[in-house]
Amino acid sequence: MTELTWPRARSRRRIARAILATYAFRLGAAWLLALPVVHTIAASGISRFPEGDKKLFESGGLYLLEVLQREQATLFAHLFSAAGLLLLFSFMGLGFDWLQLRALRSTPPSQPLSSDAAWVLPRLVLLGALTWLVRAVLLIVTLTLAMTVRSYFLTAADERIPDLIFLGLLALGLLAQVGISVLRDVVSASLADRDIGRSQAYLRGFGLLMRHPLSLVTRYASSGTATLAVLAICAAVVAQLDVARAGAWRTGLSVALHQTAVLLTILLRTYWLSGALRAAELARR
Amino acid sequence: MLATLLSAAVTSWGAPLAAERFSVGGPNAPTPVASYTLRARLDSNTHAITGEGTIRWVNASAASTDELYFHLYLNAFKHNQTVFNRSAFTRARSGRVSQHWGHIDIRRLTARELGGADLLPHLEQHSPGDPLDATDLRVALPSPVAPGSVLTLDIAWESVLPDIIERTGFSRDFHFAGQWFPKLARLEQDGTWSHFTFHPHAEFYADFGDYDVTLDVPEAMHLGATGHRVEETVSDGRRVVQQRASGVHDFAWTAWPAFEEQHARILETDIHLLYPPGHGRNAERTLDTLRFVLPLFNSRYGPYPYADLTVVHPPRHAGAAGGMEYPTLITTGGAWHASYWSRAVELVTVHELGHQWFYGLLATNEQRWPFLDEGLNSYAESVAAEALFGAASASDLLGFSLSSEALRRASMQLEPHAAPLALPASDFVSFAELAGVVYSRTALLFTTVANVYGAAEVDAALLRYAQRYRFRHPEPEDLLLVLTEVLGEPAVKDIRAAIHQGHGVNYVARDLRSALMAEPRGMLPAAEAGVAPASAGGRFESRVDVHRQGELQFPVDILLITASGEHVWKYWNGDGRVEMVSHVGASPVVSAVVDPKGSIVIEENLLDNAVRQHPPFPVNTLDRLVYAFQLLLGVLAP
């Protein structure tokens, strides 16, 4: 593989629909997750102030802490139950990732959507579960290793030494997690191809990552870095916007900025997925 | 050649001994009551300190006494059955028990003015009903000491430092020696001794005096101590340092080979900063904070009177020594990577520096009335932090900020029942309760009083209190006397009730109603009689009930907002159980809020202060939560 380029032959409209479907799913799922918490906040009494819930965002956090402290039992209960839903929605999100991959294919799909979905989704769920398992094991190994190695250096007079060693090992673990993400997405792209079996798709993904680690990781990392930049810029702009100050337009603009940021992160992921798909397609030829 | 080298090793630390900024015998000068001339040697392998010296004590009371009391605080760490260690539920901040026991034993005790009488046989433990605790010792004197008489005690002792679980001890080769020598309790003016068993919630109390202390430590040690360095010599692998401090009531020191040092001068004070390797950035932050806060506290509570201030940032493994105050020496804390947005380094510096006034110069009984030092100092810290950082005084990250006030309210509400502020430290059921009441509630009370009666008035009162009782031992009534002089009785009535009875307050807005006023009807007087009611003219009568729960009676503002956006301000002096607030106007009142400026921060519940006819949906909250969950769904994708 010499280059990873955006596939030319595809329907832009189909891609746009897939992106919008992903966005709509995330919005709807997040809305469902947030609503019980929002109702608790509304019932706390903060909405009865003339400023409404803008008071929660006042500098100093006086009312925010007041609400969190007084409603902590209810909020914890909501967040606990939200964790189960979050798990469910995370797996449902796999279907929307696949929709994007399907839309990004350079050749039009030969099977109807429902048939394709019935074939690929169980495989993607299995891949997702496997990914989580490997991620969890890697996280435990990384933390155990980092803490153990750090403990050998705790007697150093300079406190930075054990901490920097710890951070260095965490960074290595993070790099491995990035590798898993890349592998997952490349395998996902391969799984979408109905001509090959599950094990072949996994092997193809491994093979691709082994042959082109730099180009794949670079593309993934560039998409990830851009995502982080979008989030940081959004946070900084919304902080400057200061919704606690008077003016409904501040709230409107904050909503617009947040949703734009979410849309951009989805677009950046689509950019990466197109690369993963292109790599899988080139490997097939 | 060797002799030359040894003599050349004599160095001095900082400037020559500067005259303290008070003249002995002058007005407000500290009267030396308990002065110590000590010489001590540290064995860094056994963590033992062997010492000897003299204590010159003056009976400054109005009565003769035939006994002395010593605090042997280190005996709190002697075994796990001391008052300090015995209960898992009352152990102090760290909650830990030493693995390496510490103790202090007096080896020699004679009294020169009593014919060189050997007092050692007369030592007896005096923790009432507690034979296992040896932190409070009584010494019977063979003959009484008359008022104004001097008693010179020759003393020798050995201390063994525990591993640091709180304030004092060792960790690896780091040593922090606090409460390391036999310390005389304080004889009050009426001839009673203020002495107490060392309780895990309690701190200390002693008389002012002059300290001349010579410390002998391994040569590799960097040393920081109370007072001014007079002389430092190095020979035979030992470093011998002489420190002097006048007008102080305690002496602490630290020794560690790995300390790095910075020295600076702020106004007329030499700052000596000792910190672990890698903490250079924290050292700069600490110095920057001191440059701002030392002049601020000088102006607010009277000038810092000593020539030196030593600031010790303990290493992480000895973190329990951090966040503590001694005369002219404070300990701070914080990780080497402490973020700027957290303000932790700055806040601990501000707090401990504040103790140079509220503990150091105003030497209150910390066991009996901890609110006088920790509470007033927490208020001083809040004021300084706000001056330094504004509303985001505790943290600030990308628009999400916390103030000291918000954190204090959170701490106060962890212990929702209102205990009197003036409880002794040992009467609190846990350190969390003490923190909530003594630190947080006191600070919030004074913030409330400043908001309601004027910050300038409270500033003036605290300055007067700090000046009048400088180098003295004020009690709660002394504080209340000054507050009454400046703020007047109505304000002090509430402060007194909070201090002594634990009274609180909560304002609640309820039942907002509006109705179109009816046109006058029925058998009304004739119009020409001049008493006929005016036409309602399509106006609305609105009413909201404002309830005051609790005993404190702070006056409050009440804001009414009409449907047309008009803001109507009402005032209630807080008298009575409930105030029915009415408004008649062309537009109905749709929203009402008690204390809209948030002045009464000591209130039990801020969220019941407002009432509104049609509360809006919390869109801002929904926006943030939906955004957070959207991102989370992206991150958690399997």
Which contacts of B234-242 are long-range, i.e. CB under 8 A and separated by 24 or more positions? B234/B6, B234/B9, B234/B11, B235/B6, B235/B9, B240/B214, B240/B215, B240/B216, B241/B13, B241/B214, B241/B215, B241/B217, B242/B212, B242/B213, B242/B214, B242/B215
Whether B49 and B180 have beta carbons less than 8 Å apart is answered as yes
Q: With an 8 Å Cβ cutoff, is A73 touching chain B?
A: no
The closest alpha carbon to B392, from B343, B353, B338, B344, belongs to: B343
pLDDT tens figures, B473-516? 999 999 999 999 999 998 999 999 999 999 999 999 999 999 99
* From A62, A128, A231, residue closest to B403, measured CB to CB: A62
Beta strands B567-572 and B556-562, pairing class? antiparallel
β-bridge mates for residue B312, sequence order: B274, B331
pLDDT score at B528: 62
Mean of all residue pLDDT scores within chain B? 91
The least confident of A28-32, A258-262, B94-98, B225-229 is B94-98
Contacts with B, A 168-227, CB within 8 Å? none
Interface contact flag, A160 B336, Cβ < 8 Å: yes
Chain A residues in contact with B337 (beta carbon < 8 A)? 163
Instruction: Name residues whose C-beta falls within 8 Å of residue B402's C-beta, 6 or more positions apart in sequence.
Output: A60, A61, A65, B392, B393, B394, B395, B396
> What CA–CA distances, in Å, run from A243 to A28, A252, B628?
24, 9, 16
| pLDDT at A7 exceeding the cut of 80 | no
Interface contact flag, A157 B277, Cβ < 8 Å: yes
Q: Please provide residue B219's backbone torsions phi and psi, each rounded to the nearest 5 degrees.
A: -55, -35
pLDDT score at B607: 96
H-run or E-run covering B514:
strand B505-516
Half-sphere exposure of B361 (CA within 13 A, CB side): 24
* From B402, B607, B638, residue closest to A67, measured CB to CB: B607
| pLDDT at B20 exceeding the cut of 60 | no
Which of A99-108, B128-137, B509-518, B552-561 has maximum average pLDDT? Answer: B552-561
* Widest CA span in chain A: 66
Q: With an 8 Å Cβ cutoff, is A51 touching chain B?
A: no
> What CA–CA distances, in Å, run from B358 to A23, B302, B308, B354, B381?
58, 11, 18, 6, 11
User: How many angstroms separate the CA atoms of B233 and B216, rounded?
Assistant: 10
Interface contact flag, A66 B409, Cβ < 8 Å: yes
β-bridge mates for residue B69, sequence order: B138
Chain B residues in contact with A235 (beta carbon < 8 A)? 398-399
Q: For residue A161, with 0-12 CB atoms within 10 Å meaning exposed, 13-18 middle and 19 or more buried, which class applies?
A: middle
pLDDT score at B16: 34
As a whole number, mean pLDDT of residues B188-196 equals 96
| pLDDT at B1 exceeding the cut of 50 | no
Name the token pair of B445: 């009370």
Whether A262 and B631 have beta carbons less than 8 Å apart is answered as yes
pLDDT score at B529: 58
* From B316, B398, B621, residue closest to A239, measured CB to CB: B398
| pLDDT at B22 exceeding the cut of 60 | no
| pLDDT at B129 exceeding the cut of 80 | no
Alpha carbon B279 to its chain's center: 25
Whether B437 and B421 have beta carbons less than 8 Å apart is answered as yes
Interface contact flag, B619 A255, Cβ < 8 Å: yes
In terms of CA atoms, which chain B residue is nearest residue A158? B277
**DSSP code of B375?**
I
As a whole number, mean pLDDT of residues B451-467 equals 97
Please report, in angstroms and rounded to a whole number, the separation of the first and last CA atoms in chain B: 75
Q: The tokens 């979408």 sit on which residue?
A: A192
The pLDDT confidence band at residue A12, using thresholds 50, 70 and 90, is confident
In terms of CA atoms, which chain A residue is nearest residue B512? A48
As a whole number, mean pLDDT of residues A108-128 equals 87
pLDDT tens figures, B511-531? 999 999 887 778 777 666 566
3-state secondary structure of B631: helix
Calculate how close chain A gets to B485, using CA atoms only, in Å.
32
- List the Cα angle B602/B604/B608 in 5-degree steps: 120
Chain A residues in contact with B393 (beta carbon < 8 A)? 60
| pLDDT at B638 exceeding the cut of 80 | no
Q: The tokens 């948030």 sit on which residue?
A: B598
**DSSP code of B168?**
B
pLDDT score at A285: 66
Q: With an 8 Å Cβ cutoff, is A28 touching chain B?
A: no
User: How many angstroms separate the CA atoms of A277 and B516, rounded?
Assistant: 69
| pLDDT at B5 exceeding the cut of 80 | no
Chain B residues in contact with A71 (beta carbon < 8 A)? none
Q: With an 8 Å Cβ cutoff, is A160 touching chain B?
A: yes
Calculate how close chain A gets to B493, using CA atoms only, in Å.
27
The least confident of B24-33, B109-118, B355-364 is B24-33
| pLDDT at A52 exceeding the cut of 50 | yes
Interface contact flag, A159 B335, Cβ < 8 Å: yes
Q: With an 8 Å Cβ cutoff, is A112 touching chain B?
A: no
pLDDT tens figures, A230-281? 999 999 999 999 999 999 999 999 999 999 999 999 999 999 999 998 888 8
Q: With an 8 Å Cβ cutoff, is A159 touching chain B?
A: yes
Q: With an 8 Å Cβ cutoff, is A42 touching chain B?
A: yes
pLDDT tens figures, B276-318? 999 999 999 999 999 999 999 999 999 999 999 999 999 999 9
As a whole number, mean pLDDT of residues B382-396 equals 93
Size of interface A-B (CB pairs under 8 A): 205
**Optimal mutation site among A56, A58, A65, interface B, most CBs of chain B within 10 A:** A65
Whether B181 and B40 have beta carbons less than 8 Å apart is answered as yes
The closest alpha carbon to A45, from B418, B551, B506, belongs to: B506
The least confident of B127-141, B449-463, B565-579, B610-624 is B127-141
Instruction: Name residues whose C-beta falls within 8 Å of residue B231's C-beta, 6 or more positions apart in sequence.
Output: B10, B12, B240, B241, B242
* From B276, B402, B622, residue closest to A34, measured CB to CB: B622
Whether B543 and B582 have beta carbons less than 8 Å apart is answered as yes
The closest alpha carbon to B239, from B231, B228, B248, B247, belongs to: B231
pLDDT score at A112: 86
Which has the higher per-residue pLDDT, B566 or A157? B566
The pLDDT confidence band at residue A3, using thresholds 50, 70 and 90, is very low
* From A89, A128, A235, residue closest to B398, measured CB to CB: A235
The least confident of A64-68, A189-193, B424-428, B572-576 is A189-193
User: How many angstroms separate the CA atoms of A102 and A106, rounded?
Assistant: 9
Please report, in angstroms and rounded to a whole number, the separation of the first and last CA atoms in chain A: 11
Calculate how close chain A gets to B12, using CA atoms only, in Å.
26
pLDDT score at B637: 83
Q: With an 8 Å Cβ cutoff, is A63 touching chain B?
A: yes
Q: With an 8 Å Cβ cutoff, is A128 touching chain B?
A: yes
Q: The tokens 């701490």 sit on which residue?
A: B411
| pLDDT at B536 exceeding the cut of 80 | no
The amino acid at residue B351 is H
pLDDT tens figures, A136-162? 999 999 999 999 999 999 988 899 999
Q: What is the pTM of this model?
A: 0.91
The amino acid at residue A144 is T
Chain B residues in contact with A29 (beta carbon < 8 A)? 629, 633
Interface contact flag, B392 A59, Cβ < 8 Å: yes
> What CA–CA distances, in Å, run from B186 to A135, B51, B100, B183?
63, 22, 30, 9
Calculate how close chain A gets to B617, using CA atoms only, in Å.
7
Interface contact flag, B621 A56, Cβ < 8 Å: yes
**Optimal mutation site among A59, A88, A273, interface B, most CBs of chain B within 10 A:** A59
Q: With an 8 Å Cβ cutoff, is A79 touching chain B?
A: no
Half-sphere exposure of A10 (CA within 13 A, CB side): 21
Report ipTM for this prediction: 0.94
Beta strands B183-184 and B65-71, pairing class? antiparallel
| pLDDT at B388 exceeding the cut of 70 | yes
pLDDT score at B3: 38
Name the token pair of A187: 């395998």
In terms of CA atoms, which chain A residue is nearest residue B607? A45
The least confident of A64-73, B95-104, B430-439 is B95-104
Q: Give the other-Cβ count within 10 Å of B58's Cβ.
A: 19
Q: For residue B154, with 0-12 CB atoms within 10 Å meaning exposed, 13-18 middle and 19 or more buried, which class applies?
A: middle
| pLDDT at B188 exceeding the cut of 60 | yes
In terms of CA atoms, which chain A residue is nearest residue B595? A49
β-bridge mates for residue B51, sequence order: B40, B157
* Positive or negative torsion for Cα A109, A112, A114, A115: negative
